[in-house]
Amino acid sequence: MNYRPLCMIVAATALLQAPLSSAQDLYGDNACIGFDCVNPESFGFDTIRLKENNLRIKFDDTSNTASFANFDWQITANDSANGGANKFSIDDITSGRVPFTIEGGAPSHSIFADDGGRIGFGTSTPVVELHVVDGDTPTLRLQQDASSGFTAQTWDVAGNETNFFVRDATNGSRLPLRIRPGAPTNAISIDADGDVGMGIQTATASLHVQRSDGSAKLLVKDTNATAALRQLLVIENNGDPAFLLTDTSSGNQTEFRLLGTDDTFSINHVGTGGAEFRLTRAGRVIIGPGGASNMILNETGTMTLAGTLIQNSDVNAKRAIEPVAGEMVLAKLSELPVSTWEYKADSVGVRHLGPMAQDFHEAFGLGEDPTKIAPGDMAGVALVGLQTLAREQDRQLTELRREASEKDQRIVELLQSQTALQSQIHALAERLQALEATAR
């Protein structure tokens, strides 16, 4: 390309603005402008050279009509003040701003635009529209500096061999978001409707968690060292809130539900005709298949069963087994006060019969609470009492049988004696008759 016309224009402009003693020179196809140009100047491959201690190219737009742009611009090489910055900048002279600066010593390819319009930061071969390369944690910083009246805040978006992360640089460099290398496709996916999928591209719920390796689960964990009540899961709804458990292998479903109309929590095996478990706010518990009431534990503690109460009495579940002195139990049982009474929580006129728990506990020392009696303990005391009475009755019957046997023996002996006596009397009678016959 022939640079002679441009060189002539630049040189002529320089010569018109300053005396020749300023060492501004023009040599053929090359131009040197500045106080430090020499004659002859060794240009090398330079076509135009600015050479002095204040290097500036100024664009002074003299437009004075309001409809025409008229900002003045300047290309500046280095600050002019002692200790100033080594830099190359484009200055907005009209506004007194410096919108573009390259600092001296910036590495190669700090900013690189390729022929496809891709921008590289730290690379001359960008492969996407914006490509950032660095040897350690390439980072993009977003800094709100409070110049517009908003609170200052700085965020970093960065990535390295351990994770991609968002860093809250203002508040202790916290990392509220991390993505580990190797995270699976669709680890987090947000649909157009706002549904969030984890492990699935197209979520079918507000939060949809799906995996196919048997590891899908939810964990809500508070690691605060102070023991305290914490609501770790809250479910709210304008109506009955519920959640559903489904066994996809069988199709069986169970619904956990809060019935808002009567304030009852229920568990319902779907398709059985009704809830199998109900718990009212008042404390009543109702259990039964398909909504039946086979067991009712009411607010006052009264339990009603449609079947039989069965308590565990397996010998394998017991320890410290000791025999019982039935006579002692019977003696205490005979002295145990038994009354009829009403529970204060019952309706007036509902009567019951039995001992007071305190008296029962004092007499037999059974159970852990002196204000309660276990049905099994009550039955055990009654059973021992009956066994003792039965054994006493057997003993008495045996004694009576022995006495009766002795009496029977005595009767036999008496009868035998009576028979012998009768024989003797009969023999005497015969002898008497014989004597009387001889005397005649």
24 pLDDT more than 80: no
What is the C-alpha to C-alpha distance for residues 151 and 169, in angstroms, rounded to an integer?
14
Type and span of the H or E element at 4: helix 4-17
What is the C-alpha to C-alpha distance for residues 139 and 157, in angstroms, rounded to an integer?
6
Structure confidence by residue, pLDDT tens digits, 136-150: 999 999 999 999 999
Please give the mean pLDDT across all residues of the chain. Answer: 91
What is the C-alpha to C-alpha distance for residues 420 and 245, in angstroms, rounded to an integer?
99
Mean pLDDT across 277-301:
94
What is the C-alpha to C-alpha distance for residues 284 and 264, in angstroms, rounded to an integer?
9
Type and span of the H or E element at 388: helix 375-439
Would you state the structure tokens that stand for residue 395, as one six-digit string? 């003993």
Lowest mean pLDDT among 108-122, 131-145, 215-229, 404-418: 404-418
Would you state the structure tokens that stand for residue 418, as one six-digit string? 């009576």
Structure confidence by residue, pLDDT tens digits, 337-349: 999 999 998 889 9
Most trustworthy range by pLDDT among 47-56, 167-176, 297-306, 307-316:
167-176
What pLDDT does residue 21 have?
A: 37
CB atoms within 10 A of CB 167: 21
What pLDDT does residue 155 have?
A: 98
- 3-state class (DSSP) for residue 173: coil
Mean pLDDT across 353-360:
95
Would you state the structure tokens that stand for residue 305, as one six-digit string? 């069963």
Q: Looking only at Cα atoms, what is the longest distance across the chain?
A: 218
Residue 403 CA: distances (Å) to CA of 44, 120, 409, 415: 150, 123, 10, 18
Mean pLDDT across 302-308:
93
274 pLDDT more than 90: yes
Structure confidence by residue, pLDDT tens digits, 307-321: 999 999 999 999 999
What pLDDT does residue 432 have?
A: 86
Q: What share of the chain is helix, strand, coil (3-state, %, to 5)?
A: 25, 25, 50
Would you state the structure tokens that stand for residue 28, as one six-digit string? 């053929």
Structure confidence by residue, pLDDT tens digits, 100-111: 999 999 999 999
271 pLDDT more than 50: yes
